[in-house]
Amino acid sequence: MKNFVKKLRKEAGLRQEDLANKVGVSRQTIIAIENNKYDPTLELAMKLARQLQISVEELFILED
């Protein structure tokens, strides 16, 4: 699954640690998501989308 977390986080002026704190996960989790090594739960995906002010469908793209 492709995502735009890193791009949007940077545009929002947030550090990985800042975003992690806002959604209640570790910085390592944010790193793993940004590097496409971890697909977040639906709950975490929704929290990330809310923080980055974008829909889940726009933040995460399911690749065939």
Q: What's the pLDDT tens digit per position in 21-41?
A: 999 999 999 999 999 999 999
- pLDDT band, very low/low/confident/very high, at 20 (cuts 50, 70, 90): very high
If pLDDT is split at 50, 70 and 90, which confidence band does 64 have?
confident
DSSP at 54: S
Query: What pLDDT, on a 0 to 100 scale, did the predictor assign at position 63?
Result: 85
Please name every residue paired with 60 in a beta bridge, in sequence order, or none if there are none. 3
Give the burial class of 28: count Cβ atoms within 10 A of its Cβ; 0-12 exposed, 13-18 middle, 19 or more buried.
exposed
pTM for the whole thing?
0.94
Mean pLDDT over each residue of the chain, to the nearest integer: 97
> Which pair of structure tokens corresponds to residue 63?
């690749």
